[in-house]
Structure 1
Amino acid sequence: MIRISIIEQIGYREWTETIGTDREWKIQETQAKIYQEAQRIATKFGGFVLPLRYDYMTIISSNLTEDEEKEILEVVSSLSPVAVRLSSDLGTTPLESENNAWSHISSIEPGKLGHFGNGKEFVIVSHIDLNGLTPITQKIGTFRTYGKILQILEKINSIAQGNGGVAQYLGGDNILVLLPDSNYEDLVTKMISTDDLKAGIAIANKARDAMKLAAEALHEIRVTRNKRIVKKSFL
């Protein structure tokens, strides 16, 4: 099972409306600082923060303890302009874990956390990479390249979510996919079938280890140039 944690900044939208109309730069600056520190402390414990949106932060938190999650919450709380709370739960797929965490969050008091669920926790990820992005960018420019990546992301995310997974763009030519624990290799094969893509797949007890392994798998593909998918495991 995979653990997902959600941190809610309570009343974040209302806060943005109190700082005037010359505010977007301040919002972006605040978000960047919170994300940077949340990522720093989460990866210290082996987790990883997904940059989905900033009023709600999503953490891949398998095998993080309640005390470690509390420390992450305290760091975010020290930087957030509003009160925060954290909900953490398990599921057999990433989407189920997220839904389970969401089901508790409204009952958690500001400044507190809820750590729910028991079971064997691990993470399955795929790091998908678009071949030749630099020459593509040099030919058609940054904006149109980004549009191309978004089209690929939409296709990958459709396949992932249809099977309980989640895809996240990490910048550059990098797409991270949180995978369910059934038929995940077949899913990744389908994800990269129609574009010039390669994929590292990894299984580990914690998110940071899984992402490290997936990056190693991609490096192996680049060196050998005889495969499009390589799988590695820490389990």
Structure 2
Amino acid sequence: MASSVLLRLRRHVPSARLPAFLRPVSTSDDADEQPTPKKPKTRADFPTFLLDSFCLRQFDDQKTFSGTKIDYDPKAFQDKINAYYESGEYDLVDGYAPFCKHLFVPNFINARIPTIPITPKSAHLLQTGYLARVPEELPVLTRWFPSHSVTPETAKWLDIVLYSREQIRLENEAMGKSVLDESDAPWRIISVKAQVVAHELPMEPMTILRNALGKDVGGSGVALDQDKYLASVEYWAKHAHIKHST
């Protein structure tokens, strides 16, 4: 009699509401029917670095861009930079502000150095003009060597300049640009600089001034540091970019 009552209870009362001693014991077959847990997402799903749209001009604008030109598939380049970092052999280096970092990796793209020293023999070749890096920015006075008049050297290192995801979002909002993508990647590659040394070189004086002017004119909003500005002037008084003639 007792066994039949227990059987009825098990048939009509949900297991969760039965006392523990009345609940059916699961078997190995029941365990096999449990849903397979989802595979945890890896760093391949969430890369550390993504190419920012600002950097894409280095891939696309081979004729007029005066910085490092990259003849490489953008997605493959992004994957390569992530692989270098994930190898553990290359560390992030602090930049000019908390939201800026650098990653120095070997020049695997065979890029040429986009600047050369100004010498008495080459100074007469310099050209000047008002240029903007992107359409949203104001043109500023710039000088450069025409590419047909000089021969650039092949670099040893690439300086991968990184901005935090949040900084890019703030700058885009200030300039009325589209909202940042929804990727969880914490860093955006904003610039790639081919150079001989594995450390940061001074940014151009006008870049420092633009940053100080604010986000709505294409800067980062970082206040001008007089010592860094004077160091920039000293370096760029002796160097100039190489630019294709338009």
TM-score band (shorter)?
Answer: under 0.3
Normalised by the length of structure 2, the TM-score is 0.24
